[in-house]
Structure formats: structure tokens, C-alpha cells
Amino acid sequence: MRVLGLVACFFLLISVGSADEAKPVRLMPLPANVNLSAGQGLVIQNSFSVALRGNDPHLRKAADIFLNDLRRHTGSLPLDFSVAAAPDQAQLTISVDQPSEEVQKLGEDESYTLKIDGTRADLHARTTLGAMRGLQTVLQLVEITPQGFALPALTIEDKPRFAWRGLMIDSGRHFMPLDVIRRNLDAMAAVKLNVFHWHLSENQGFRVESKKFPKLQEMGSDGLYYTQAEIRDVIAYARDRGIRVVPEFDMPGHSTAWFVGYPELASGPGPYSIERKWGIFDPAMDPTKESTYKFLDGFIGEMAALFPDQFFHIGGDEVNGKQWDANPKVQEFMHSHNLKTNADLQGYFVERVQKLVAKHGKTMEGWDEILRPNMPSSIVIQSWRGQKSLAEAAKQGYRGLLSSGYYLDLNQSTASHYVVDPMSGDAASLSDAEKDHILGGEACMWAEYVSPETIDSRIWPRMAPIAERLWSPQNVTDMNSMYDRMAHVSEWLDAYGVNHNTQYIPMLQRIAGTGDVSALKVFVDVVEPVKGYAREALAATEPTSLTPLNRVVDVARPESIKAREFAELVDAFVSGSIKPGMEAQIRSALSHWRDNDEKLQRVATQSSIVQEVAPLSQSLSSISAAGLQALDFLDRGEKAPKEWETQQLAAMQQAFQPKGQVMLMVVPSVQKLIQASAGDTPTTLSIPKAGND
Amino acid sequence: MRVLGLVACFFLLISVGSADEAKPVRLMPLPANVNLSAGQGLVIQNSFSVALRGNDPHLRKAADIFLNDLRRHTGSLPLDFSVAAAPDQAQLTISVDQPSEEVQKLGEDESYTLKIDGTRADLHARTTLGAMRGLQTVLQLVEITPQGFALPALTIEDKPRFAWRGLMIDSGRHFMPLDVIRRNLDAMAAVKLNVFHWHLSENQGFRVESKKFPKLQEMGSDGLYYTQAEIRDVIAYARDRGIRVVPEFDMPGHSTAWFVGYPELASGPGPYSIERKWGIFDPAMDPTKESTYKFLDGFIGEMAALFPDQFFHIGGDEVNGKQWDANPKVQEFMHSHNLKTNADLQGYFVERVQKLVAKHGKTMEGWDEILRPNMPSSIVIQSWRGQKSLAEAAKQGYRGLLSSGYYLDLNQSTASHYVVDPMSGDAASLSDAEKDHILGGEACMWAEYVSPETIDSRIWPRMAPIAERLWSPQNVTDMNSMYDRMAHVSEWLDAYGVNHNTQYIPMLQRIAGTGDVSALKVFVDVVEPVKGYAREALAATEPTSLTPLNRVVDVARPESIKAREFAELVDAFVSGSIKPGMEAQIRSALSHWRDNDEKLQRVATQSSIVQEVAPLSQSLSSISAAGLQALDFLDRGEKAPKEWETQQLAAMQQAFQPKGQVMLMVVPSVQKLIQASAGDTPTTLSIPKAGND
């Protein structure tokens, strides 16, 4: 799908009702076109009702879901709103030209137009799918006004930039119960995502009931798997929200859990047990035995019938080849088939599997590694390697989607995800025809370090700006607008039960062992988990799938709002764009952090979990004191002595080292104050490499 | 069941692990006997496992539920803990002498003993039901320590004071979805309640699927009802947690919803529609027609099979008799049967119904009104009228339970519920044999003004001290201890998904229309909904079942913690027991409230919902300023002038008037400061009578 090239406004001002103050539009993703109208918005009465034009059961269902969501966003009751027969009785009319496909298809029209004035709202879409997207826009526009809950007067024309906008959830490494899946589907629909990629098998667990091969779940899941009835329920739930469900069964590697029940599938001798550790492991399917393909034929056939989506993801990543190297029969096979490398053998396997997938009517999808010269052009490549690999595939005529840069498990800043564009880098120089092969992108929530309790806080709110990247015009890139709107959407998502906000205080209370979590909150508010793969590197003992995820590193948010706000303040201050009150704000924050440690240390004496990060709280106190000293120098117009600066910069380096796998995120800003006070140009402290903790 | 007369300690000090500071025991309900041991507690390892002695599937289920709850209270993972075969491998051994009854019975033994030392915990109970209660005690003992999550070393011997400890939820007036029911069952089990009384039919809705009389739910529920499969699921869910489910089908009044589908049951001409208003209405079943009893025979038979509990609640309350007065055939029947009053006619009806209930193997339960001379002594009276009515019933040989004083919908203080004892008042002078007839009590959550979103905040945490009243020895009455422990249990219940704490901020955000709810929170923290039945009296337009429950009155907690803490401070201060820092704390609170209004008024200009209470925020500001003036007088050792005092007291009266159906709960404390500053004895301002709003 091509870049649409529409222009969006970032700071649209909407005047709702008779309010004097104009508010910025708070939609995420931003629509392709928004035109604000003068005058009154539409007040949502108790008798609010919706009329439907178009006779599609999915549309009726979508209207019911919309009304229920509208209740959640206004605190209204089940009976308040209704679907009316007659359009002239309705406040909102939804019309569609045609139903969406029974099984939702890639590339179906998702465009819609929305017009709201003081008396009514009209939503028009070519398909029911477009109406679903438009209804999410309506919901995001709801806000309290002096007249009650209301929608602003405006006209929106909107359509997505990319046809494939996904989130992958890994239920393999840690099983995620159905309520986690459902509430995340609600939140996905709210930001117009349309693909739920479900990673269903891993070394650590096989998560789907197979009736043909029941030992898969019976022996490979610790009893933690989805029944076929539950899978069908999830698919229907997603379909009702305009979301396709693409299953992934990773092969030939990442498959130890399969071998517990069916060791004959593996390339090495059994028996196998469910893997508890993290990493890349030796076991891999045996690509040389016909029995392997016979099994997969049956298995893929069963799963192809269970999952209606056109695409079937076979993983295909990260085989270390050790079992193949060690197996003489495999070596013999490679020799006799002229397969020179393990990559060649893997390619042979994937080619065979692709034929099975095609036989059962599906289109194969897989990670970068599946791309081999003999592959049919229909397959889809999901790139964890980057735009370069994506662009190469596109040049060879393969469709692809980007996941590199969208790994939510790495605890990176929202900004760092937001700047990643499937069409940038090598992809930018593709021809228009080649660009059409880039379908979109998918964020990935790998589950080594998330539990059902913490997963929402890793996905949300950072998923919302990635969804915007994939929906909104390419030139929607303003970082301040993104952060402002993300903050709003983050709270707004609370209505769907995702617990990234609401579970924060209860987790702090559990850790503190006391209801008064004020000191602990002040501290945890400014730390973040270590980034990338540092958590493994920094672990005192090797983490496993049984390790509790209940420490400060699990409670801390991937991106500290307080640290980012403080950084903005300090950046403005040291660059000379000082506003009244700014220094007072910086001083107030620093004093607060300096004085917080005493209280936190008292909590730490009662809690092994707080104790682990207590040294960082001391660091926060001492660097804050140094920051205040720096401000004193600046206030006196006196340059800080070099010796003091050198000493403090060393202290900053020290304070920026992780403890208990969390990092103190205000350190770089304090360093800037110190450098400025010594008359030096502030530099950005980079995140330290993983070292022993 | 008799008063056990055991002595409990209110301020037990437990020293856990090697912590230096001793912590008070934070159990609710307090056990009958707790003996703390010296030395280390039991650290909960990742490999924590439980061994079972006793071969009861309910015990195994209870252990699984316990382990899952333990995970929720420690943030651990599904695979961390297990049920071990061998007791010597387990940290916790649970032994029971006998299983509990397949269908849980009233009066089954619920006692248990628990012994914990540094290496193991042993829980012994006569029945599986007792083991369930003991496991809840174990869970409440879990806390973070310097060694990790741990249990303190102690010995507990415990048993309930009353055999019937219930919560009634009214699903009739506002339908409550299954997730509301389930999370409340979890929380009920956590505080050792053992009866879920489910009010399933009302004028506003008939909420159970009847296969025999399907028009009951089809025409009487707006589609909001529980299927029989769902009912069975709830019953099993409750049974697994040691909770009986007693259904209530209210008759002959409170039954308009029945008549929508079956108008022939009523005493007046139809047609009928589902009632939307609140109150007592005219429609009542026709007690004179044999067809009524034929219908009820079939209906009660069907429901008696669906609900396995021994007790069947037929309501029987609040018939206004107007339809009977207006119906000549009814009048004729009364005359020919020598029934002089409507109460006599109602008695005739209830006697007939009792025979039907007995025919289907059940024991009838009902509200006070069902007590008639001819009733068999087996029936149970639920008293909404008080201990007097309960004592009278007991003297006549009837069993009863107290609900008067435990009405959670009236938004009264926890203290006011906590002092209510089923054995006080007239019941105190009963003979021992008569006292045995008093089974316990039930809190009632009538649902005129609760939605699925707000109901938890009306039930919790106030339900927990009522549960303590019904479980713990009669002399457990210390109010400070109760409030301290309630605060802890309240947070601790968050783990069960009840949202009385977690939904507060999201609701404030929705009302404020902005993420910064600080000013609104400061205000709402010190208001409470009007008390008793004042909400109806104060409504500008008559509320109905369609009225949104999304206003400040719905968000405000029934009892303001901040106002109570402030009252404690002020009471100590004006009584002369002044401690260092106390005046500074009072001043700080008053200054905060005085200065909050400016910010709140800005929020109010953007929100019709905040606007409604904005005048009270002004009052909060001005009374706080007056309170500060009073402190100034006191500080200067100068008596406040009489004229000033008179003026301020009038202002206090004014500020204590409800606005938007909420009340400013710090007013009485400020009044005391003013009186003290003028040299007068502080008096308690009483809650104003309902007046026009």
C-alpha cells in the first residue's frame, strides 16, 4: 500500500459546545483529514440512539459494541442507549455501502467519513470495517463539556496508510489467560489495529488444543493452553472488532514443547521436557524425515481449519543447527541432497512446509529467515531485522511487514518506536510498485519478562503511537503532539480494563507492604527497566519461566513520564529558553527527590524487594543535591569549579549504572545542569552497557 | 448460635522474620485466638508447595484456589507453586477430618487451627469448609519482609460466632454482569462470608431464565438476565469458596416485571411494562386465584431444582395493597375467608407459598412481614426492621438474621455498621435457647443507585468490618483497630479485581475531562453522598433505572477517609490532647482546601458534572479559611468574638447543606475549631434533613 501523502494538522483546535477555551484534538491515531466546524457540538443525551443503513449482522454487532463502549466512556447504564429503527430518531446514523467480508481480508477498504454538527452525527463507510474504524473515532471524540458528554462539530475523512497494522502477543513463553487477550483486543480496536498475531508455540509451551495430536498440549503446556472452543471465541471476538487473528506455530526451531509429547519430530534423541530457561536452544524438527511432514500435514490441516485467516505464520527463525550438526543421518541427507549449509537445510524444510500450508488453502508467513530463492511470491515476510531486509524482499517481489523497531519487550522510549517507519531507510528508495509490497508493521510483545499482571504495562500506552505510525499519514511526526495525545489515550484506555495505569499502585503497595506508598512511588516514577536484552545480562541468577515477575523492575514503566518531563524542563533551561517558574519547578523536583530517600530507606528495611533498589534511591538523593548546587552556582552567576564538576560527572556515571535491573532516568538531565553550571556545553549521557549487577 | 465469649487481642504485635519493628496483626475478621511465637516466620519460596491430608475433591479445589490467590498476593506466576503429594516436601500441610457436605449446609463446622513456624505451616480443620476459612487467614498473613514474602510465626485457633454471614446483592433493580458477581464472591470469601443472597426479581427486572415460563425473562428483563447455565456456574464458583447461594424471588409485591409476560398473575388489569422508577408500587400477585399457586408451584419447582441450597427466599415485603383494595373479587375473597386486613391476605398468600416451598424440599426464608402465627417453626426471618423484631421472632421459636443496620446502599459510616450486633438491643435479654435462633446477619446492597462500575465501592471496604462483626468474638469492638485493619484489607482486596480503589481515578478523569485530576480529587476526597434515602428526596428530576450513575455523588466514597482522619485530629486538638505537629497538620489541610477552589473552578467551567458541585468547593474554601482564623485566635490566646463565631456557625450550617447530592464532611470538624476558638464547648453538627437541592 502506498504512502497516501495526505496532510494532517497536529495542533487542531476544537471548540466544543459553548466552552471558551479551545482544546487540541486528542485523537490517536490522527485521521488523514480533520476539518473543524464552528458552533455547537453534539450533546450525548440519555436517549442517544444509533440508526443503521445497511443490512449486515456485523454492522449491528459493531453498533452494539459501540454503544457499550460509549457507556464505558460516559459511565452510563446498559439501557440508556439503543439502536433505533428510524434514522430521523437517531443522533448517530451509520451507513455502509457493503458488508465487510465474512472472513476479514487483508486490504479491505477501511476508509470512512464522519460529519458531526449540533444536531446529529453521520458516519459513512464503504464497508462495515470502515464503519468500525469510524466508530472508534467517534468514541475518542467523546468528552465532558459544560453541556454534558458531547462530540465536537467537525468533518473527518480518514483512511489507513497501511493495510496491515498488528500486535503480536507471545502466549508461548508465559501463558496469557483469555481475559488478558480480550482486553487487549478491545484496546487494539480502539487504536484501529487490525491484526492480532498470536504466537502460540515456543520452547516453553505449546498453547493450543490439538485434537489430532493431543500430546502437544497435554505434555507440552503444563496444562496452560487454549481449547479450540476458546480459540474460536477469541477469533469471533476479534472479528467483531475488525481484527484478523493470524496464528503462529514456530518451526523448525523454538519447538522444544512439541517434542515432549512427540520426540520423534526432533533431530536429536529424546526425551524432552518443557524448557524453563530463556534463549535459543538446540532442539529442532528433523527436516530429513518424511514422517515430520506427514505430522505437519495433519497438524497444519487441523489448525488451518481452526483459524479462518488467509495467513498462516510458521515462524522459521533462529535455528542454531546444533542438533543437525550432531545427527549423522541429517548430515547424510544434506550431502545426498546437495544442501551445503544448515541455512540450506532450513530452506528445504520451509519450502516443504510452504507446500503444506498452500495445500490447506493458506498463505505462508514467516520471519526474515524464510525468504529463500524458490519461494512463491505469495508469501509474507515479517522482518525482525529491519527496513533493509524488508526492502530486499520487496525488490524480489515479496510482501513484507516491519517489526524491527517495534519490539515492546525491549523497554525503549515511545519516541524511539515512533520514528521507525516501514518506508524509511532502504525502503524509501523503492519504486512505487515495490513499495506496494510493504504491507505495514507489527509490534511484538515477547513474553520472557511479562506476566498476566504486567503485560498491559509493556504494551500500553506505547502501542498507540506505533498504531498511529501505521495508520496516519507519513508526515504525522510531531513528537510533542504524540506525547500529549498518548497521555490522553493512555487514560482513556482504562475504560477497556487494560491495567497499565490501574495496577501500578496495587503493585507498589504489595512491594512496600504498607498502604503508604508515597516514597516508593516518587522513586519508581523516575526509574525504568534496563533496556534491550540487558535484563538477562544483569541477572544475578539465571531467570527462568518460573521466576516471579514482582520486583521493582516489573512495576517500573518502560518509559518514565516524570523523567521525560524533567528532561524537557532541563533541556529548555540549559538551552537558555527559560520561562518564569521554570527554575522553581526544577528546584522543587530536585528537593523532592533529595528528601525522599530517608523515607524510602525506612520502607526498604521492611521489604526485600525495595531493598534491592535502595542504593539507587540514595543515588537519586545525592545527584539531586548536586543538581541543586549546580542551580546555586548558576543563580550566583558563579562558574562551578572544574574539580567539583569532574567529581560530580563521575558520580553521575555511577548513578546511571543499573541496580536491581532498573535505571535512574533523571541522571542525564542532572548531568546537563552540572555541565551548564561549569560553563560547559551539556552532553547527553548514554545508557550504560550491560555489566554485572 | 451462642456467643462464644472468647477473648481476642486487638493490638497483637507480630514480629516477622528478623525485622526490628513489630507490626500489628492486620487480619479482618480477627480470629478468636491468636498467639504469636518468637522467632522467624515462614518465607514463601518459589517452590512453595501444599500437601493435602484428606481425600476430598473440594479440598483439592480449595488448595488450587489458594495457590492462585497466593500468586495474586505475591505477584508470582502460574507455575511457581504446586500441590505436592508428600507432606514432608510441602511448606504448608492442610489436613481435614472429613469433607464438607456436597451441598454446603447451614451450621457446618467452620473452625480451624493454624500453626506457623520458621520451617512449615500446618492447617487443621474438622471439615473442608474450615480449611477454606483457615486458608483465607493464611493469605491475609502474607506480607513482604526483609526475607521476601513470608508468614509470621504464630498459632491461631478460630471459629465463627455466627453460622450465617451474608451479603445480599440486588440484581433486580440494576442488572449486575457475571464478572461483578464473581469478583465479589472472591472478596466475600476473603473475609469469611458464607452466604450470597441473590435478589433476582424486582419491579424493574426479572433476572433468571425460566424454561417453564420463558416470558418472565423474555419480556421482564430487557434482555438482561442470567441463563440457567450461568446460574449453575455461579453456584459452583461460590461452592468452591465455601459460600452458599440463596436465591430470592420477591412476592407477592415487588413483582411488576413478572406481570409483563404473565399479567394474569397480577391483582389488577394489565398490560404491564417493566417499571423504570424507584419505590413501592401497586402491582401485586393475586392471592385469591388458584392459578397463581399453580404457576408458583411450577416456578418454585423449577428454581428449587436450579438452586441446591436448603433455603428459598420469597421476599414477602412491602405490599401497599392498592390493587387488592381496588379489586372486587379480592374483596369478596377476603370477606368469604374472614381475612380482615391486607396483612391477613398477605399472610394467607405466604402460608400457601410456604407449603409450595416445602413441597419442593426447601425451607422458606423471607423478610419480617412473612412472620405469621400459622407458620412452621422451620422458616427463617430476615429482619430489615431491627433486633426487636428479631428477638420477637426468636421468642416465638423462629430463626432469624439481622439486616437492619447493615444496609450498604444508605452510605453510612463503617462505625455505624460496626456497632450493630445481632445480639444487642432486645436480643441481648433472650434466653440461651432463644439466642440459638439468631443465626447471624446479612449486609444488603440494594441497587437503585449502583451500576456495575460503582457497586464495588459501595460494598467494599465497609463490608469487611460487618463480616468481622459476624465472625469474630462479640468483644472485638475497638474502633481504631477496626479502621486501621479495614484500610489494609481494602488495599489487599484489590488483588481480587474488586474496583473500589482502582476505579476511583479513572472515574475522576472522565468527569474532569483531563488527566490532571488533582484539584478534583482533593475535593471529592472530603465529600460523601447524602445519607439514607435523601438521594431521592434531593433529586431535581425523578431518578429512574435509566439515569446515568456517573456524577460526583456516584464517585464519592460512602465514607471519606480524609474527613475521618481530619476529625480525629481536630477532636484530639480541641479536647486538649495536643501532640507536636498536630496543629501544623490541621493548618496544612485547611490551607490546602482553602487554596484548592481556584483550580477546581477552572475544571468546573469545562464539565457539567463538576459544575454541579462547584458551589461546595467554594464552601470548602471559605470554611477552611474560617478554620485557619480560628487557629489564629487560639494561637494568640485570644478569644474569638461572639459575633464572628455566630456568623461562622451560620456559615457552617450553610456549608453542610448538600449540593449535587453530596455533603462536605469536614464541616463538623471546622465548626469545632470555631467553637473552641470562642471558648465554647465544641458540639457535633448533625447531618441535615433532606431538603430541596
Angle at A277 between CA A274 and CA A279, to 5 degrees: 110
Q: Which residues of B touch A501 (CB under 8 A)?
A: 505-506
State residue B24's pLDDT score: 61
Contacts of A288 (CB under 8 A, 6+ apart): A267, A329, A330, A333, A334, A345
Three-class SS of residue A145? strand
Three-class SS of residue A432? helix
Least confident of A557-566, B281-290, B676-685: B676-685
Quote the CA–CA distance of A261 and A271 in Å, as a whole number: 9
Grid coordinates belonging to A189: 480496536
- CB distance B547–A607 less than 8 Å? no
Asked if A601 has any chain B CB less than 8 Å from its own CB, the reply is: no
> A10 pLDDT band (50/70/90 cuts)?
very low
Least confident of A9-23, A87-101, A300-314, B236-250: A9-23
Q: Which residues of B touch A512 (CB under 8 A)?
A: 144
DSSP state of B474: T
State residue B229's pLDDT score: 98
Grid coordinates belonging to A14: 476544537
Asked if B70 contacts B81 with a C-beta cutoff of 8 angstroms, the reply is: yes
Q: How far is B451 from chain A (nearest CA, A)?
A: 7
B residues 426-455 closer than 8 Å to A (CB): 451, 453
Count of pairs with CB atoms under 8 A, one residue in A, one in B: 150
pTM over 0.90: yes
| Marked catalytic residue, from B157, B230, B318, B583 | B318
Q: Could you give the percent of chain B with pLDDT greater than 90? A: 86
State residue A570's pLDDT score: 97
Q: Which residues of A touch B77 (CB under 8 A)?
A: 174, 451, 545-549
Of B147, B174, B611, the CB nearest to A146: B611
* Residue type at position A253: G
Please write the tens of the pLDDT for every residue from B606-642.
999 999 999 999 999 999 999 999 999 999 999 999 9
> A55 pLDDT band (50/70/90 cuts)?
confident
- CB distance A608–B145 less than 8 Å? yes
Q: CA A187: distance to chain centroid?
A: 11
State residue A657's pLDDT score: 95
Q: How does DSSP assign B539-573, residue by residue? A: -SS--BTTS---SHHHHS-SS-HHHHHHHHHHHHH
Q: How does DSSP assign B187-237, residue by residue? A: HHHHTT--EEEEE-EETTEE-B--SSSTHHHHHHSTT--B-HHHHHHHHHH
State residue B693's pLDDT score: 34
Least confident of A682-686, B64-68, B267-271, B455-459: A682-686
Please write the tens of the pLDDT for every residue from A259-308.
999 999 999 999 999 999 999 999 999 999 999 999 999 999 999 999 99
- State the average pLDDT over residues A513-523: 93
- CB distance A515–B146 less than 8 Å? no
Least confident of A385-394, B231-240, B627-636: A385-394
Q: Which residues of B touch A19 (CB under 8 A)?
A: 605-606
The whole-chain average pLDDT of chain A stands at 93
Q: How far is B640 from chain A (nearest CA, A)?
A: 37
Angle at A580 between CA A576 and CA A583, to 5 degrees: 65
Asked if A541 has any chain B CB less than 8 Å from its own CB, the reply is: no
Q: Look at residue B8 and tell me whether its pLDDT is greater than 60.
A: no
Please write the tens of the pLDDT for every residue from B358-409.
999 999 999 998 988 888 999 999 999 988 999 999 999 999 999 999 999 9
Q: Which residues of B touch A502 (CB under 8 A)?
A: 499, 502-503, 505-506
- CB distance A79–B546 less than 8 Å? yes
Please write the tens of the pLDDT for every residue from A177-217.
999 999 999 999 999 999 999 999 999 999 999 999 999 99
Q: How far is A75 from chain B (nearest CA, A)?
A: 5
Quote the CA–CA distance of B156 and B608 in Å, as a whole number: 54
Grid coordinates belonging to B67: 495457590
For B73, which residue in chain A has the nearest alpha carbon? A510
Q: Look at residue B14 and tell me whether its pLDDT is greater than 50.
A: no
Quote the CA–CA distance of B378 and A337 in Å, as a whole number: 86
- State the average pLDDT over residues A507-521: 93
Q: Which residues of A touch B549 (CB under 8 A)?
A: 75, 77
> B455 pLDDT band (50/70/90 cuts)?
very high
Q: Look at residue B181 and tell me whether its pLDDT is greater than 60.
A: yes
Q: Could you give the percent of chain A with pLDDT greater than 90? A: 86
For A76, which residue in chain B has the nearest alpha carbon? B548
Q: How far is B244 from chain A (nearest CA, A)?
A: 26
Q: How far is B16 from chain A (nearest CA, A)?
A: 10
- CB distance A453–B80 less than 8 Å? no
State residue A14's pLDDT score: 41
Please write the tens of the pLDDT for every residue from A604-661.
999 999 999 999 999 999 999 999 999 999 999 999 999 999 999 999 999 999 999 9
B565 annotated active-site: no
Active site residues of A: 318
Q: Look at residue B232 and tell me whether its pLDDT is greater than 50.
A: yes
Quote the CA–CA distance of A232 and A209 in Å, as a whole number: 12
B residues 380-409 closer than 8 Å to A (CB): none
Asked if A112 has any chain B CB less than 8 Å from its own CB, the reply is: no
Please write the tens of the pLDDT for every residue from B35-45.
999 888 999 98
Please write the tens of the pLDDT for every residue from B126-151.
999 999 999 999 999 999 999 999 99
Burial (CB count <10 Å: 0-12, 13-18, 19+), residue A559:
buried
Q: What values do phi and psi take at B332, rounded to 5?
A: -60, -45
Contacts of A279 (CB under 8 A, 6+ apart): A536
A residues 232-261 closer than 8 Å to B (CB): none
* Region for residue A18 given its phi and psi (left: phi exceeds 0; alpha: psi -120 to 50; beta: otherwise): alpha
For A502, which residue in chain B has the nearest alpha carbon? B502
Q: Could you give the percent of chain B with pLDDT greater than 70? A: 96
For A176, which residue in chain B has the nearest alpha carbon? B78
Of B224, B547, B607, the CB nearest to A144: B607
State residue B373's pLDDT score: 82
A residues 55-94 closer than 8 Å to B (CB): 73-80
Q: Look at residue B692 and tell me whether its pLDDT is greater than 90.
A: no
For B19, which residue in chain A has the nearest alpha carbon? A606
Q: Look at residue B21 and tell me whether its pLDDT is greater than 60.
A: no
B residues 17-36 closer than 8 Å to A (CB): 19-21
Mutation target to probe the B interface, by most B beta carbons within 10 A, among A77, A207, A511, A544 is A77
Percent helix, strand, coil in chain B, to 5, is: 45, 15, 40
Quote the CA–CA distance of A683 and A351 in Å, as a whole number: 51
State residue A20's pLDDT score: 37
Mutation target to probe the A interface, by most A beta carbons within 10 A, among B14, B20, B44, B79 is B79
Asked if B224 has any chain A CB less than 8 Å from its own CB, the reply is: yes
State residue B247's pLDDT score: 98
> A504 pLDDT band (50/70/90 cuts)?
very high
* Residue type at position A300: I
Q: Which residues of A touch B139 (CB under 8 A)?
A: none
State residue A250's pLDDT score: 97
Q: Which residues of A touch B545 (CB under 8 A)?
A: 77, 79
- CB distance A491–B506 less than 8 Å? yes
Grid coordinates belonging to A571: 533541556
- CB distance A515–B145 less than 8 Å? no
- State the average pLDDT over residues B56-61: 93
Please write the tens of the pLDDT for every residue from B475-500.
999 999 999 999 999 999 999 999 99
- State the average pLDDT over residues B583-601: 98
Q: ipTM value of the model?
A: 0.92
- CB distance A75–B488 less than 8 Å? no
Asked if B509 has any chain A CB less than 8 Å from its own CB, the reply is: yes
The interaxial angle of helices B642-655 and B667-677, nearest 10 deg, is: 170
State residue A598's pLDDT score: 97
Q: How far is A550 from chain B (nearest CA, A)?
A: 5
State residue B598's pLDDT score: 97
